[in-house]
Structure 1
Amino acid sequence: MRFKDIIGQEKGINYLKRSIQNKRIAHAYIFEGPKGVGKAQIALVFAKAIQCKNYYEDVCNHCSSCLKVNTNNHPDIKMIEPEGKSIKNNQIEDFQQDLLRKPYESNKKIYIIKDANLMTDSAQNRLLKTLEEPPAYAVIILLSTNANSFLPTIKSRCQILKFHPIGEKIIEDILVNKYGMQTDEAKVLAAFSDGSLGKALKLKESEEFKIKREETIKVIEKLLKKDQLMVFELFEFFQQNKAYIDEILDFMLFWFRDILLLSQTESDKFLVNMDKKAALQRHMNYIAYNKIGNIIHIIEKTKNDIKANVNFQLAIEMMLLTIQEE
């Protein structure tokens, strides 16, 4: 892996490359961004670049240092991960003891702390002591979904780099060009990726994702046939899949948005569910054009109600009944 292999995070990567080129590497960084946007990959390539013996704008991938990083065997690059649900005080204590020993074969010792926002309060306070007076050879990289989870005194001693979700079209193109996927399938995965290539790749391998999508389309089909007694039977599907409710409601949102697009433009160019165009056209015939926006609104409201801990059964049954009435 090299800097040039990481797509969609050019701003942050260029900043790190300049810091190496100008010999202005900080003692501590916070890499902030949603899961799956590539924070860990960027941190590892940054560490690899710092240690590379032939670095020039990117890692060489051939020197002894790069080869050791590629096999997770570099003595001066360490990864710290949560034990269970948190990073504990004793883990930071072990890290501090290791940091006292000078680098084995380079000028820097680099520590990457994954899910650093999961540090306990005592672990954060212990880490703060190191950040206040770090050895000259130390580089500490905290990976986090939320920099505000750290003590203000930790944040003030770190350079914060924000990594943002990647555009759907970029993810779609990567899935097609790098992973050989069909455009129809890539569009669906990109839409549900939340801007995370990592999530898109997990969905690519997930049979459960594909099954849930098919089941949700069948539920929509039954719902649009307007058998009012069916609503209470359909609720069982949502109850059984309560753990996946966000995903299922997103399936529904994209489905009805696709119906709206088809009814407005008669074009499939911007459809997410392009592989299901025939079903979309069939469902379009069940709904008056001016009602589709109302259906999208009620699904979005249901998502927000469930996040706000409104009674689950009441929220879902109201959504289903409202969709039928529309």
Structure 2
Amino acid sequence: MGFKDIVGQEKTINFLKRSIKNKRIAHAYIFEGPEGVGKFNTAIAFAKGIQCKSYHEDACNICSSCLKVNGGNHPDIKIIEPEGKSIKNKQIEEFQQDLSRKPYESNKKIYIIKDANSMTASAQNRLLKTLEEPPEYAVIILMSNNVSSFLPTIKSRCQILKFHRIGEKYIEAFLINKYKIEKDEAKVLAAFSDGIIGKAIKLKESEEFKTKREETIQVIEKILKKDPLTPFEEVEFFQKHKDHIDEILDFMLFWFRDIMIITQTRTDKFLINLDKKNTLQNHMHHIAYEKIGDIITVIEKTKNDIKANVNFQLAIEMMLLTMQEV
């Protein structure tokens, strides 16, 4: 893992590269951003670059230090993860004891604390003592999806680097290049990734995702056939996937969005479900164009109702009945 392997975080990567090149490495950083955007990979690439014996824009990957990082056994790079649901006071105490010992074979000791926002209050207070007077060889990287969970005194002693969701085109290109998949498949995965490359990779490797998508399309097909019993029969499908209802409803939103686009433009250029173009065209003939917007509205309303804890079965039944009526 090196800087070259990080996708879509160019501003942060360039900052870290300059820090290594100019030997202006801070004692403490907070890497903030959603899970899956590349915080951990960036932390490893940064640590690797700091320790590399032949660094030039990126770690060399051939020196003894890089080889140890690749093997996960560099003595001066430590990773701390939550024990259970949180990082405990005891873990920070152990980290401080380890930090009191000088580096074994380099100029820096680097600690990457994953899910640092899960630190208990006592753990944060203990960590603060280290951040106030860190040894000159210390580099501490706190990874978090929510910087507001830290004490103000901790934030004030760290450089905060933000990691952002990235555009679908970047994710598409990454998936095509890494997995050699067709553009149609990459487009669907990118659309459902929410701008998070880690999520796109999980979806690519998930057979469950593909199955849920196919089953959702089948449900839509049944609804469009206007059988009055279908809305009540298909509620079971949504109950089965209740824990992933946002994803199921997003499948439906993207599907009807595509029907609207293909109806209006007669082109597949902007379709998300490009691999299902023939099915979309078939469904297009079952819905009046002016009604598609009503269907999209009722799906969005159902998403909001479920978030507001409206009765789940009732919300789904009403959605399916309304879809059938329009």
2:242 alignment partner in structure 1: 242
User: Bigger CA drift: 244-253 or 18-27?
Assistant: 18-27
The TM-score with structure 2 as length reference comes to 0.98
Worse-matched range after superposition: 243-252 or 117-126: 117-126
How far did residue 143 of structure 1 move?
0.7
Alignment partner of 1:158 is 2:168: no
CA distance, structure 2, for counterparts of residue 55 and residue 158 of structure 1: 24
Post-superposition Cα deviations, 1:135-187, rounded to whole Å, max 9, x if no partner, equal 11111001111111111111111111001112111111111122110111111
In 2: Cα distance, 1:168 partner to 1:133 partner: 43
Q: Which runs of 4+ in 1 moved over 3 A?
A: none
Deviations 1:4-59 (Å, cap 9, x if unpaired)? 22121100001111111222111110101111111000000000111111112211
Shift of 1:319: 1.2
Q: CA deviation at 1:297?
A: 1.5
Structure 1 residue 21 corresponds to structure 2 residue 26: no
- 1:50 and 2:50 aligned: yes
Aligned length: 326
CA separation in 2, counterparts of 1:135 and 1:145? 27
Aligned equivalents of 1:167, 1:314: Cα separation in 2: 36
Looking at structure 2, the residues matched to 298 and 94 of structure 1 have their Cα atoms a distance apart, in angstroms, of: 53
Q: Counterparts of 1:251 and 1:33 in 2: how far apart (Å)?
A: 25
Q: Which residue of 2 aligns with 1:195?
A: 195
Counterparts of 2:7 and 2:230, CA distance in 1: 46
Residue type of the partner of 1:106? S
Counterparts of 1:28-107 in structure 2 under 5 Å? Answer: 28-107=28-107
- Ranges in structure 1 where 5+ consecutive residues have no aligned partner: none
**Cα distance in 1, alignment partners of residues 316 and 156 from structure 2:** 45
Deviations 1:120-146 (A, max 9, x none): 222111111111111111110011111
Matches of 1:319 and 1:125, distance apart in 2: 49
Which 5+ residue runs of structure 2 have no aligned equivalent?
none
- Write the distance in 2 (CA, Å) between the matches of 1:259 and 1:63: 55
Alignment of 1:1-326 (within 5 A): 1-326=1-326
1:98-125: CA deviations, max 9, x gaps?
1111111111100001111111222111
Alpha-carbon RMSD: 1.1
Aligned residue for 1:243, secondary structure, equals: helix
Rounded to whole Å, the distance in 2 between the matches of 1:222 and 1:121 is: 53
Give the residue type in structure 2 aligned to 1:139. Answer: V
Percent identical pairs in the alignment equals: 78
Instruction: Read off the aligned partner of 2:134 and give its amino acid letter.
Output: P
